[in-house]
Structure 1
Amino acid sequence: MRKRVTSALLVLAVAAGLVGSPAVTSAANPQLTVDLSQNTGALLYGATGFLYGLGNDGIPKDNMLAPLKPQYASQKPPGGLQHPNGDVFEVQDQYFRNGGKEIQVIMQDIYKEWPYENLGMNDYLAKVDTMVRALNANPNRDKYVYVPFNEPDWIWYNNSTKLQQLFNDWKTVYQKIRSIVPNAKIAGIGFSYYDANVYDQFLTFAKNNDCLPDVTTWHELQNSFFTDWDTHYNHYRSVESRLGISPRPISINEYGRFSGDIPVPGNLVQFVSKFENSKVYGSLAYWTTAGALNDLATENNKATGGWWLYKWYGDLSGNTVKTTPPSPSGSLQGVAALNATDRQARILFGGSLNASDVFATDVVVKGFGTASYFGSTVHAVVMGIDNTNLNPSSGPYVLQEGDYNVVNGQITVPVSNMKALSAYQMIITPNRDLSPSGTAGRYEAEYAAYTGTAFVSSSSNTGYSGTSFLEGFGGGGNSASGQFVVTAPTDGYYDLSLRYSAGPLAGAPANRTIRMTVGGTTLKDLTLGGTANWDSWATSTTKVFLEAGINRIGFTTYTADNSDAVNLDYLEVAAATDTVVAYEAEAAGNTLTGTAKVESKTAASGGKYVSWIGNGAANALQFNGIQAPSAGRYRIVVTYANGELGDGATNYNSNIVDRYADVSVNGGGSQKVYFRNTLGWSNFRTTVIDVNLNAGANTIKFSNGSIGFAPDIDRIQVAAYLGN
């Protein structure tokens, strides 16, 4: 978790290059083979776990978490001293509302020091008692997994003579937890690497002493993962089988080396591939700052290249199918899924030995004989996502696409000029594409997420863009939804243009309606004019103020009849302009109370800002005279700085503090808003909050009634959520 592991960089890559049909392959190219006829089970999405990936509620924003299908979060216990943020009680509401399944509670993080101070088992048992009772009193009690020991191979039990003591202490703590919560889910034994001899002995002891873990854990932080993962996994399962132990879920509750893996898409795809193909869980290691999804997020709402790999992973649907790399222990790896309903196969792949490698591979897809709905010719589009380190990514791009004849039940797609630090996605569909997939600013509905009765169409309709469209909307109360994840380069207004069809339908009005959401919240109900038939398409454009970075735009049915019966083709996003009014924090008309005061700094807008807000309700900044042309929902862009470092373990993790402010409008109730640390007091960043304003003049107050301060406030910009 927090142990330094140095290693050589090992990466992967896939490349661009236009593909024709049929393709000629090179005998020298390594082959990644996908067999659509070999179903390997339901998708687990197991690799989507985070250790201290969550800092506080809203750090990072829901936009960054929801699309990833999160499974496990690993966080500190309530009252834990190891880091200033990441308390399970602080982050759980956000995690669970965005689909998270369980939270592993790293119980030894109750201690402040790293390595953990050893105050004796009696001290630890007293702390265990307090933690377990607090967790068991929480409404989310059934979603916690107790992790009593973290890297015990070098903390508290750091030589072979102490191994039996570790086993005995495991039993003692295990029994203590179960005495309070009889059905507690307990995970262990949490070594920093897989030690075959130790895990054999541990399982033998645990079975004989009735203290088997419900979840088996260890870490994969070394170079050995890339060559030896299958050996680790297979040995563990063989021990279970030999001892007659029912298979435990495996959680690699920290993975990724200290340098080179996180957040590099080209390396992370290897972990994703191996964990999903083995059906195990994994949590990205915590090497830098908390609250950034382990560097998949930056500036709180912006995606690094690594984030998009996990978004692709979350987009996989159906069942996984057998994927065979050139070598089980080699660098090139992949994972694939087949959705028979959508008639789509998706493959995530990449991998090369050296960071500077540029190479090619042949992706061989066979088994089409058992998936005849693809037809005799298929379309394949290959998308790439490049490494951006900790900088924001502009998102995926189309490398190549083409049509391929299915010969003897298979196709071969050569991909050349592959970049070592990049990861790639191939989407295979029936050959019914009508336009290229790479139009700038366009998000095809058939590649978007969807829920309810919505589905990717296989009908004979024409006139659509790309390879298909979404249908299944309408019919009354079916909650069909299409969800688009789009990138906005800056805070500002954007025209969101929905292309749809709404042909004649019995029981449906000529004009239709659909509900539009942003970030999961209803924005407005769109009226969509009817089209002459279902092969005719129209466009409805709405101007919306979006936050810089990732935004989730949804279109959902909500009526009790066929009033919302439409098909969705794509969403197109283009920059627009409208009124945004800025208000400086230091303006003379504002109200400053208590310790709040105006200070100077070159990096601030106008050279001034307001600091020392909070640390008591009397110390506040109130913006006065905020004008709204009409009552309604507005977006407030807050420019702020927060460079506070807090108390915690003395190690290489930056113990950042995400300050919060109580924000109230017109003297009403306040909302608690966390502001991600900007890693320096001269680094001014923005975040967007939503408020309701009255027509005319309004006040917006920033305070903090706790013992902590709010961030320094530079200015706010006020924009109507919906533009004119």
Structure 2
Amino acid sequence: MSIFDKIRSFFIALGLALACLPYLFTPTIEFDLNNISGDVSSRACGYLYGLAQEDVPSAEAVKTLEISSVSQKVYKGLQHPIGDVDDVSARLDSCDYIVVYLQDSYSTWYYAHAEIDEMRRAGTYDCVDFVDNDFLPKVREKVSAVSAKPYSDRIVYCPYNECDNTVWFGSPQPEGWLAFDEAARGRFYDAWKKTYNEIRAINPNALIGGPGYCDYDIFEITDFLGYCKENSCLPDVMIYHELNDKSSLFWQDHVEEYRSEEKALGIDELPIIVTEYGCMFECGAPQYMLHYISSIEKSGTYGNVAYWRLADNLCDTVTNANCPNSCWWLYKWYCDMEGGLIDSQLRDVLHSDFANTIKYARDRFHCAQLDGMGAYDESEKTVSIICGGCDYDFQLALKNVKNKIGGKVRVKVEAVTFEGLTGEVMSPAVIEDCAANASGTLKIKIASPDKEAVYHVTVSAADEEHDELSAMPERFEFESGTLLGTAYTYDSAYATTGDINGMCGGFEKPGDGITLNFTVPEDGDYELSLVYGKANDGRTPADRVSAEALMTLDGSEETVLFKNTIKSEYTDKYTFTRHLGAGAHTITLMHGEGTFVLDSLLVRKNAEAPVYSQYEKEYGEYLVIAPEDGYYEFSSDSSVRYLKKGFNYVETQGENLTVTRAFSEDYAVVSLDSLTLSEGAEIKAVGGRYALGGITSEGGGASFTVNAEKAGKYALTFTYSNNEEGGVHDYNVDIIEEYITVKTGDEETNAWCVNTYSDYRTLTKVVYIDLTAGENEITLYNSGFNRFNSRVATSPYIYAITVNPYVK
């Protein structure tokens, strides 16, 4: 950088800093409603292997979000036992682009790596021969098949995924490693052109994406585009990954740099799909994903959240197939934004990279904590903002609210905080809902924010409606407690809380434990949640059992059961309620049986939260999030309906719907002893109790009779476990989603049952069926309609069955 560039960058940074002076001691995000930069989209709502099967995650869970793009396994691919594009295509109607990795034809990671390594050691590996005679036949087969599908016009073929990792094309170095040097790039370019031409020959209208590099490198991308322009093989879509721990901060810089180079090459703007974004420690944590959403939306790209864990939860955005976690609320608030993106300025100089702004001549500060974005919906006269990610007071400053909405407005602030990767968060906290004067700049202050929290702020015309306020949980970090025995703290590779060494482990033998002090402000009933992880202490899925911890709370002892989460850092939460007096309290957790780890303790005042409901204008239905399976009363028509736990879409009349739990003991239970078994089906002890098992695509079944009082819709509810796994991967766990086929009359339903991680952990599956008045025979079996790589399809163990009218 020249001295003139340094001087220029200094004055740019100085100008930015001076602009922040009015907000020096109050970090601020400034929104000007007179400056709208274009329509808000949902382009950050994309996922790599986010969908496992047609109903995993559930159809309702997928419907709640406007998914813009996905990256899925190519048709009949072998890389994972789930995620086939054809299996999930029915759930992708909202997608602009459906990316398929053609190398997913291979069963191992990285795509025949072991075989190629063996050939390299033997001196027989020839990448040209491998591409021509092994890969291209697979390409021809897959492209021919997918091109015949009804969704083929939205398919983007990515021929090579992370090819810069050197496995296929790398140049051997004297030190023994491989380099993606000029020669390696040349080999890749030759393969790219050859594969490109093969795809075009089969489908001239195909969309082809590349290069698919594992990170953003402007030199490598520009070099690739230069070759493609000269050799008539330009991609239709630019694809690369953003998996660096600073990716969210420099996202917009990268896009602007890329667009500049693209223009210099004389190439028309290509759509950009970052097919994998987010580090392992970021995915599932809303405070981190907020940065990505904001950056993606402002840059106009598409982005798909990376797949680091399991392929059945929209990349840690939902849990248990049909329930929200904290990250879902962030993406829901984002996807619900309508109207125009409001131009915003972040004024937070004390927490920004001031020095790097000067060093690299940037025209913006980067802040790793506070962030936010907002949209203005002119038709509804409403502002919607998502913000947060910091542990210091901040404010939102909204200009020109009066002439857009009015001088008197309603301000509502909702919030969620990280409660474990699979911790269910059935409703947000409402921390403010009040009237405000907007005659000048409207300032909305967020005091003492939770660093792991995100906030949803809506500003609308003043009305008489105000929601009851509810508290955010207060977090107490276990690593701040007193370690006992050989317990220790360590840093997790996955999302966790705390600054350094955020997990506590080593609870492996008697005497190992931890003591943590916490306080509550007043007497009352409190909900306490232990954010924990429980690894497999053995080697096989059958070894996934629960752990017992000995808990002492203010001198009262009890045993706590931590259910298996597959890996230690795959965190869930264990929640219980206690009456506590105001002041200090002590909780101790000791090793009982099996190992476990602890992240944090969440404490919140226990109050009966209303059942969350929201009118979805797009569908003309209400989204209702039920905390449990069972009956709920609807204020609109006083009906009582059976809802499944989590997401439900309900048609009902009227506005301002209120849904309340209608407790009932009147559930029709089907005894396992009453089942008529066929072929290999059996009742056996599984996970500490008896279950119906032995149902596979090879045979086995069970039937029972239900006497329906009247014809209509009924809820068939199974309590089940599914602990199936298939395949081997370096870091992803290749769990399998099982299904049970339900036949009533002439109707047959294949009910997908999300993996439960262990046979000692159960979930429920609700299947809505139509019954006639009188006796109805219901048959359970496995139709074999979906079998990965011709393997036998197994059905889950079923522990309990109930059948109840949908409308009571």
- TM-score, normalised to structure 1, is 0.79
Partner of 2:702: 621
Partner of 2:715: 635
Partner of 2:256: 234
- Secondary structure of the residue aligned to 1:126 is helix
Q: What is the aligned counterpart of 1:595 among 665, 680, 702?
A: 680
CA distance in 1, matches of 2:336, 2:249: 28
- Quick one: structure 1 residues 442 and 711, their matched pair in 2 at CA, closer, same or farther if it must change by over 3 Å? closer
Partner of 1:449: 616
Partner of 1:571: 658
CA distance in 2, matches of 1:170, 1:367: 52
What is the root-mean-square deviation in Å for CA atoms of aligned residues? 2.0
Partner of 1:127: 138
CA distance in 2, matches of 1:211, 1:367: 49
Q: Do the aligned residues in 1 keep the contact of 2:70 with 2:97 (CA within 8 Å)?
A: yes
Q: What is the aligned counterpart of 2:202 among 173, 177, 180?
A: 180
Q: What is the aligned counterpart of 2:780 among 690, 696, 702?
A: 702
Question: C-alpha displacement at 1:181, in angstroms?
Answer: 0.7
Question: C-alpha displacement at 1:491, in angstroms?
Answer: 0.5
- Secondary structure of the residue aligned to 2:415 is strand
Give 2:169's aligned amino acid.
Y
CA distance in 2, matches of 1:374, 1:42: 18
Deviations 1:116-175 (A, max 9, x none): 115711111111100000001112211211111111110423421301211221111111
Q: What is the aligned counterpart of 1:79 among 72, 76, 81?
A: 76
Question: C-alpha displacement at 1:578, in angstroms?
Answer: 5.9
CA distance in 2, matches of 1:368, 1:632: 51
Question: C-alpha displacement at 1:602, in angstroms?
Answer: 5.4
State how 1:410-425 maps to structure 2 within 5 Å: 410-425=441-456
Give 2:641's aligned amino acid.
V
Deviations 1:611-655 (A, max 9, x none): 111232x41111x232221111100111111111112x4321111
Give 1:329's aligned amino acid.
H
Partner of 1:523: none
Question: C-alpha displacement at 1:254, in angstroms?
Answer: 0.6
CA distance in 2, matches of 1:488, 1:262: 25
Give 2:428's aligned amino acid.
P
Give 2:700's aligned amino acid.
N
CA distance in 1, matches of 2:650, 2:131: 52
2:283 corresponds to 1:262: yes
State how 1:624-663 maps to structure 2 within 5 Å: 624-647=704-727, 649-663=728-742
Partner of 1:387: 418
- Secondary structure of the residue aligned to 1:82 is coil
Partner of 1:141: 152
- Quick one: structure 1 residues 612 and 202, their matched pair in 2 at CA, closer, same or farther if it must change by over 3 Å? same
Question: C-alpha displacement at 1:712, in angstroms?
Answer: 1.4
Deviations 1:292-331 (A, max 9, x none): 1111121111111101111111110011111222354112
CA distance in 2, matches of 1:650, 1:434: 52
- Quick one: structure 1 residues 218 and 83, their matched pair in 2 at CA, closer, same or farther if it must change by over 3 Å? same
Deviations 1:651-694 (A, max 9, x none): 2111111112221024x342112111111122222110011122
Q: Do the aligned residues in 1 keep the contact of 2:41 with 2:335 (CA within 8 Å)?
A: no
State how 1:11-22 maps to structure 2 within 5 Å: none
Runs of 4+ in 1 over 4 A off after TM superposition: 437-445
CA distance in 2, matches of 1:599, 1:283: 43
Q: What is the aligned counterpart of 1:106 among 78, 101, 106?
A: 101
Q: Do the aligned residues in 1 keep the contact of 2:611 with 2:627 (CA within 8 Å)?
A: no
2:786 corresponds to 1:719: no
Q: Do the aligned residues in 2 keep the contact of 1:495 with 1:576 (CA within 8 Å)?
A: no
Partner of 2:309: 288
Partner of 2:91: 94
Q: What is the aligned counterpart of 2:436 among 392, 395, 404?
A: 404
State how 1:273-284 maps to structure 2 within 5 Å: 273-284=294-305
Q: Do the aligned residues in 1 keep the contact of 2:434 with 2:466 (CA within 8 Å)?
A: no
Partner of 2:343: 322
Partner of 2:372: 334
Question: C-alpha displacement at 1:441, in angstroms?
Answer: 5.6
Q: What is the aligned counterpart of 2:39 among 20, 38, 42?
A: 42
Q: Do the aligned residues in 1 keep the contact of 2:251 with 2:296 (CA within 8 Å)?
A: no
Give 1:252's aligned amino acid.
V
Give 1:577's aligned amino acid.
S
2:399 corresponds to 1:366: yes
CA distance in 1, matches of 2:141, 2:687: 48
**Greater relative contact order (CA < 8 Å, ≥ 6 in sequence):** 1
2:48 corresponds to 1:51: yes
2:475 corresponds to 1:435: no
CA distance in 2, matches of 1:635, 1:265: 34
CA distance in 1, matches of 2:628, 2:706: 23
CA distance in 1, matches of 2:188, 2:660: 57
Question: C-alpha displacement at 1:442, in angstroms?
Answer: 5.5
In structure 1, stretches of 5+ residues that fail to align are 1-24, 353-357, 452-480, 499-539, 557-566
CA distance in 2, matches of 1:570, 1:546: 15
CA distance in 2, matches of 1:339, 1:608: 54
CA distance in 1, matches of 2:43, 2:68: 6
CA distance in 1, matches of 2:712, 2:439: 60
Q: Do the aligned residues in 1 keep the contact of 2:212 with 2:240 (CA within 8 Å)?
A: yes
Q: Do the aligned residues in 2 keep the contact of 1:220 with 1:255 (CA within 8 Å)?
A: yes
Q: Do the aligned residues in 2 keep the contact of 1:441 with 1:574 (CA within 8 Å)?
A: no
CA distance in 1, matches of 2:468, 2:201: 58
CA distance in 1, matches of 2:467, 2:75: 51
2:629 corresponds to 1:491: yes
Partner of 2:744: 665
- Secondary structure of the residue aligned to 2:655 is strand
CA distance in 1, matches of 2:34, 2:802: 55
CA distance in 2, matches of 1:568, 1:490: 24
Partner of 1:4: none
- Secondary structure of the residue aligned to 1:569 is coil
State how 1:133-172 maps to structure 2 within 5 Å: 133-154=144-165, 155-158=167-170, 159-160=180-181, 161-172=183-194
State how 1:184-263 maps to structure 2 within 5 Å: 184-259=206-281, 261-263=282-284
Q: Do the aligned residues in 1 keep the contact of 2:625 with 2:645 (CA within 8 Å)?
A: yes
Q: Percent identity?
A: 29
- Quick one: structure 1 residues 157 and 367, their matched pair in 2 at CA, closer, same or farther if it must change by over 3 Å? farther
Partner of 1:609: 691
Partner of 1:551: 648
CA distance in 1, matches of 2:193, 2:343: 39
CA distance in 2, matches of 1:700, 1:665: 5
In structure 2, stretches of 5+ residues that fail to align are 1-21, 117-126, 171-179, 353-364, 471-607, 785-791
CA distance in 2, matches of 1:685, 1:441: 22
Give 1:548's aligned amino acid.
K
Question: C-alpha displacement at 1:249, in angstroms?
Answer: 1.0
Q: Do the aligned residues in 2 keep the contact of 1:704 with 1:710 (CA within 8 Å)?
A: yes
Q: Do the aligned residues in 2 keep the contact of 1:221 with 1:257 (CA within 8 Å)?
A: yes
| Count of equivalent residues | 598
Deviations 1:262-282 (A, max 9, x none): 211111111111101111111
Q: Do the aligned residues in 2 keep the contact of 1:442 with 1:572 (CA within 8 Å)?
A: yes
Q: Do the aligned residues in 2 keep the contact of 1:443 with 1:484 (CA within 8 Å)?
A: no
Question: C-alpha displacement at 1:484, in angstroms?
Answer: 2.9
Q: Do the aligned residues in 2 keep the contact of 1:48 with 1:70 (CA within 8 Å)?
A: yes
